[in-house]
Amino acid sequence: MSGILDISGVSKKFGGIQAVDGASFSLGKPGIYGLIGPNGAGKTTMFDIICGRQVPDAGEVRFHAQRIDGVKPYKLAREGLARTFQECRVLPEETCLNNVLFAAQDKRLGSEVLQAFTRSATARRSAELEARRLLKLIDIERYADDPASALSYGQRRLLEIVSCLMSKPRILLLDEPASGINPTLLNTLHDFLVEIYEETKIVFLIVEHNMEFIMSLATEIVVMHQGRVLAQGAPERIQSDKNVIDAYLG
Amino acid sequence: MKPSLPLIAAATILIFGALAPVIFSGEPYVLYVLTLALCYAIPVIGMNLLYGYTGLVSLGHMGFAGVGAYTTALLMKSAGLPFVPALLTGAAAAGFVGLLVGIPCLRLRSHFFIVVTLAVGMILFTLFNNLDPITGGAEGLPGIPRPQGFTLGSFVVEFRSVSGFYILTFIITALVFGLQVLLVRSDFGRALSSIRQDETLAAARGVNVFGHKLLAFVLSAAIAGVGGAMKVLFLRTAAPLSFELQESINLIVMLILGGAGYLIGPIVGAITFVALPEFLRAAAEMRLIFFGFTLLIVARFAPRGICGAVVAGTRILSRKDKNLVRHS
């Protein structure tokens, strides 16, 4: 049976360290998934492998039954895989509106050059309405024409997420979205993620350290430990799983 | 919507540039300096595409200009090809050499890439200097013909005189400038700009970073080739010293002086860089010292070049205007 994202027997070694050691899990249907684990569990490596930043030594990653391990990040992006970064990346010099519009742009070299000489603005104009709606959703539409570098860290994080949504992804990968966000904004972020999930109904895969945040947000949790998948299931079941408790406390 | 500042500046320069032969009709020397400045402005536009927008530095760009220059010169002198096809072939040759250099080198990280372009510039210079049977070696290729004139009804257009060649250079510069505007203000330009701002993010958004860099590099080299060709047609001789390392560095200085990442930055920079020392002649031997100080002052107080300083200045002024309205 093939799900939306299938990881089977993925391994990755850095020098003498086995970062991921035959990890397998499957995300069968749309939902908010949390990927957690103690430090050094291999979450980030796993995330990088899915995003195409790392090539696994063994095993395979399938997205809608298509193999995507070792595929370059820009090709994955064009296939509908959107991601955010732990350190939060936006285009600092572009305005907030242009940041969101840029995500919607057709980035194949040929169509870009064609656009340069035809100066066709139809695609951009039709995207602008949606872009402004998204900016309104995160309450920064009044900064639409200000450079993204003028935003606060939390606002930039939200801008990064809506930029991802603008590209109409089929899967959204979030790398520690709660890191560096103050507790008040954390609630906003939580509600915002639930809201956009309800709207898009795609797979959200979230790597997160903040347990309270991810347990209340995710519908299903994947726990990694020492490079392997320790458990997968609903948050309540995970929280009472003996192996998981041992991994975190032991 | 009121017209934007860059648009006004571009229009002013365009009108002034086109009228220059009339304004300076009694002063061929001024036209001579302006023509030379435009011959530099073209490769600086290429450099702007590469450095100002994509964020890549090339220290060998005059080498590519040289490829375009020698190709055009040989085609016109030995093969007797007319100006336009010779110039286009020259640009294509420079772009092709850019492609050959870009494919292996653009995968390198920024500073390694700079070192490689430096080496490429030196290799190309050495080739120009030593391939005597083709390039004439250190003596260069003298006696390159000026483009043929033509008649439009009773109106004779010729490019032999100083003002005639100035007009030709002006038209070519305007065309290259137009190409720059088209490329920069497009989806392609936005993708290049995203690479400069954050390469990792650009890739995650679907930008083929290598492909975009390669195309920018090839275009930039081809534009440099056009500039090199205009320069040798103007000086009527192709000499290797026109395309040495110092000249490549001058291109970067011109771009930074004018303002990298601004459409008219290259024009402003090239004219200032070429013309200023000429107009400082009153200071006799001291002129290069004055010139050096001018560059220092720009670097210290206007890190984004003359254009950057003007934009910042108008922003401050408009803010003051608004305050006045509010308080009155």
pLDDT tens column, B195-211:
999 999 999 999 999 99
User: Is the pLDDT confidence value at B118 over 90?
Assistant: yes
Instruction: Write phi, then psi, for A233 (nearest 5 degrees).
Output: 170, -175
Q: What is the pLDDT of residue B284?
A: 66
Q: Which of A41-45, A63-67, A220-224, B283-287 has the lowest mean pLDDT?
A: B283-287
Q: Are A134 and A101 spatial neighbours (Cβ–Cβ below 8 Å)?
A: no
- Residue B241 contacts residue B250 (beta carbons within 8 Å): no
Cα distance from B296 to chain A (closest Cα, Å)? 26
Q: Which of residues 142-201 of B touch A (CB under 8 A)?
A: 182-183, 186-191, 193-194, 197-198, 200-201
Least confident of B142-151, B214-223, B267-276: B142-151
Contact of B305 with chain A, judged by CB distance below 8 Å, is answered with no
Angle of helix B110-130 relative to helix B83-105, nearest 10 degrees?
A: 140
- Grade residue A250 by pLDDT with cuts at 50, 70 and 90: low
CA distance A165 to chain B (A): 11
Instruction: Enter the pTM of the model.
Output: 0.91
> Mean pLDDT over residues B36-50, rounded?
96
Chain A interface mutation, best of B187, B196, B304, highest count of A Cβ atoms under 10 Å: B187
Question: At residue B25, does pLDDT exceed 90?
Answer: no
CB–CB contact B200 A72 (8 Å) = no
pLDDT at A61: 94
Cross-strand bridge partners of residue A171: A81, A203
* Residues B56 and B110 sit within 8 Å (Cβ to Cβ): yes
Q: Which residue in this structure is represented by tokens 């850095």?
A: A14
Q: Which residue on chain B is closest to A88 by alpha carbon? A: B201
Cβ-Cβ pairs closer than 8 A, A with B, add up to 84
- Can you spell out the DSSP letters for B187-243? HHHHHHHHHHH-HHHHHHTT--HHHHHHHHHHHHHHHHHHHHHHHHHHHTEE-GGGG
DSSP assignment of B133-168 equals: HHH-GGG-EE-PPPPP-EEETTEEE-SSSHHHHHHH
**Residues of A with CB below 8 A from B190's CB?**
94, 98, 102, 105
* Residues A4, A160: Cα–Cα separation, whole Å: 23
Strand partners, A17: A14
Using left for φ > 0, alpha for ψ between -120 and 50, and beta otherwise, residue A36 falls in beta
Note whether B215 contacts A: Cβ–Cβ < 8 A: yes
Least confident of A68-72, B68-72, B278-282: B278-282
Report the percentage of chain A scoring pLDDT > 70.
Answer: 99
Radius of gyration of chain A (CA): 19
Q: Domains of chain A (ranges plus CATH)?
A: 5-90+152-249 (3.40.50.300), 93-150 (no CATH)
Query: What pLDDT is attached to residue B138?
Result: 86
Shortest alpha-carbon distance between residue B189 and chain A (Å): 8
Contact A83 B188 (CB under 8 A): no
Residue A22: pLDDT over 60: yes
Residues of chain A by 3-state class (helix, strand, coil), percent to 5: 45, 25, 30
pLDDT of A236 higher than 60: yes
pLDDT tens-digit series, residues A34-78: 999 888 889 989 999 999 999 999 999 999 999 999 899 999 999
pLDDT of A170 above 50: yes
Query: Please, how many CA atoms are within 13 Å of residue B65, restricted to the half-sphere of its CB?
Result: 32
Question: Percent of chain B, pLDDT > 90?
Answer: 59
Give me the long-range contacts of A234-242 (CB less than 8 A, separation at least 24).
Answer: A235/A34, A239/A215
